Amino acid sequence: HSHLLELLKRTTVHGESNSALIIGPRGSGKTTLLNHVLKDLREMNQVRENLLEVHLNGKKNPFLSGLLQTNDKVALKEITRQLQLENVVGDKVFGSFAENLAFLLEALRRGNRSSSCPILFVLDEFDLFVHHKNQTLLYNLFDISQSAQTPVTVIGLTCRQDILELLEKRVKSRFSHRQIYLMNSFDFKEYIKIFKKQLSLPAEFPNEAFAQKWNNNVQHLSEDKTVQDVLQRLFHRTKDLRSLHLLLVLAVSAVTVHHPLPTAADLQEASRQHSSDSRANIVHGLSVLEICLIIAMKHLNEVYDGEPFNFQMVYNEFQKFIQRKAHSMYNFEKPVVMKAFEHLLQLELVQPLERPSARAQREFLLMKLLLDSSQIMEALQVYPNCPTDVKQWAASSLSWL
């Protein structure tokens, strides 16, 4: 933080040009950090404003997001807009991309270290700018930052660790190689602290008594064994703080007037919701026939070691089961089974290997099952009113022998 603050301060105060990259996994607070630094910086500028009454708008912050600026052309237009250079141009129509680029470069070239106002370029999702043709924008930005023109600071935000390898060699040479890595390097104790801080009410909360009560409860929660278990599991899975937020929101949303304080049970419930397997959930809602088809597919997978199958194979497998074993199952007609199969296809539990073509018959399209056998077994355990012989069949493909 202090590093970045220092860097930006130098740009504004000394008119020095710089470039830096902030690299960190998703949810590690890159943007938050930058915004925080900018806030601090603005406060400082305000201090200066009070003292000298000159620094009216010391900074412009073109925030460029790679997701919005899909190519250099759009990005350039956006920069121009944000720098408020349009008014200079007046009625001059912005024609080609080339003209635009030349215009902007000209604009930036005019300035020098001491007189012109420093500019901060923030490139969000920096990795997307890398894919622009020839990396023209990046080259030019870095080139400006490396030459005696208008002072600029280029800050890129990205989550890709290999970003430097994506830069072209000339662009790379111009980049100052100032990288700030953000990692979630805290351990579980700190994680608990963060949890407490996130959940507790701030001091400004109007109802002081309630805040006191709530905060005490949070303190209790953090010491509770089950809560710690839940958190530990989440922590082991991911250190991303956003997932913690999600979990807490789920838990806190259970709070009502009659149930004013969140309990460990709430948290557990939230965690269960949070970590449940989406595909397994889908399996819960299937009919018995569909489950049977899935089981047949599972057996096929086991027999042929993950080779793709087609509907006919699944149907034959299903027929075998019906004829030999099943007494509780009604022998469905083939079109009905086909319908059930198509439903599975729509739910994307089954995926065709290639696009369905008009020529190939639907029965013989090669398919793959998108479920793991463990998922199927788990789902069967909780499936209500499942016939026993189906369960037996699922457990062993040879059970009918």
Partner 1 sequence: MNTRQQSKLIYSWYGKPLSSDRKLRTSQYKGILITSESTKTETCIQLGDFILVEGVNADQPYVAQLMDLYEDGAQHKRAVVQWFCRLEEIPQNKRKLLKREISAQEVFFDQILGYDTDIAAETIIKSIVVLPLHLGEELPIVTLNKEQTFYVKQSWDGKCFKVLSPDTFSKLKEANKKKGVITNSSKAFIPSDTFTPVKKETETVLCSATKTKNADMEMESKHSASKSSLAKDRHSQRVANNDIKTPTARKKLELNSPTRSKGRLLGCEVLGLLDDDCDAIAPLKPSATKRKVKFTGDVLGSPPKIPCSNDKPKSTSETAKQHQSFSDTLRLSPYTKIKDCSEKDKNLHEKGNILSPVGYQKPSSQSPVMTPRSRRTCAQKTSALIAEQISLLKSYGKLAAEEDVLSGSDSSYSSSSEEEEDDDVPCTPEKKTKSSRIFSTPKSSRKSAVHTPAKTLKKTGTPRTPRNATPEIPRRLQAAQEPASVLEEARLRLHVSAVPESLPCREEEFQDIYNFVESKLIDGTGGCMYISGVPGTGKTATVHEVIRSLQQAAENDELPPFQFVEINGMKLTDPHQAYVQILEFLTGQKVTATHAAVLLAKLFSTPGPKRKTTVLMVDELDLLWTRKQNVMYNLFDWPTQKHSKLIILAIANTMDLPERIMMNRVASRLGLTRMSFQPYTYKQLQQIISSRLKGVKAFEEDAVQLVSRKVAALSGDARRCLDICRRATEICEFARQKRAPEIVRMAHVTEAIDEMFSSPYVNAIRNASLHEQIFLKAILAEFQRAGVEEATVQQIYHHHVALCRMEGLQSPTVSEIMAICSRLGACRLLLVEASSKYLHMRVRLNLGQDDVMYALREE
Positions 57 through 76 that interact with partner 1 (CB under 8 A): 57-58, 72
Judged by CB under 8 A, which of 5, 65, 78, 97 binds partner 1? 97
What is the DSSP pairing of strand 152-158 with strand 119-124?
Answer: parallel
> Tokens 């430097």 sit at which residue?
164
- Residue 19 bridge partners (DSSP): 154
- Give the integer Cα–Cα distance in Å for 170 and 142: 10
242 binds partner 1 (CB under 8 A): no
46 binds partner 1 (CB under 8 A): no
26 binds partner 1 (CB under 8 A): yes
Residues 198-227 that bind partner 1 (CB under 8 A): none
Judged by CB under 8 A, which of 368, 389, 399, 400 binds partner 1? 368
Cβ-based nearer residue to partner 1, 242 or 259: 242
Per-residue interface string for the shown chain with partner 1, residues 369-388, x marking contact by CB under 8 A? -xxx-xx-------------
The closest of 303, 233, 309 to 272, measured between CA atoms, is 233
Exposure pattern of 217-252 as b/e (b: 16+ CB <10 Å)? bbeebbeeeebbebbeebbeeebebebbeebbebbe
Least separation in angstroms between CB 306 and partner 1: 8
47 binds partner 1 (CB under 8 A): no
- Give the integer Cα–Cα distance in Å for 313 and 319: 10
Judged by CB under 8 A, which of 39, 81, 92, 220 binds partner 1? 92
Residues 165-194 that bind partner 1 (CB under 8 A): 169-170, 172-174, 176-179, 181, 183-185
- Give the integer Cα–Cα distance in Å for 77 and 230: 49
Judged by CB under 8 A, which of 143, 224, 269, 363 binds partner 1? 143
CA distances from 96 to 76, 101, 106, 137 (A): 11, 9, 15, 15
- Give the integer Cα–Cα distance in Å for 352 and 365: 7
Judged by CB under 8 A, which of 136, 153, 271, 397 binds partner 1? 136
Least separation in angstroms between CB 118 and partner 1: 7
Q: How many residues bind partner 1 (CB under 8 A)?
A: 95
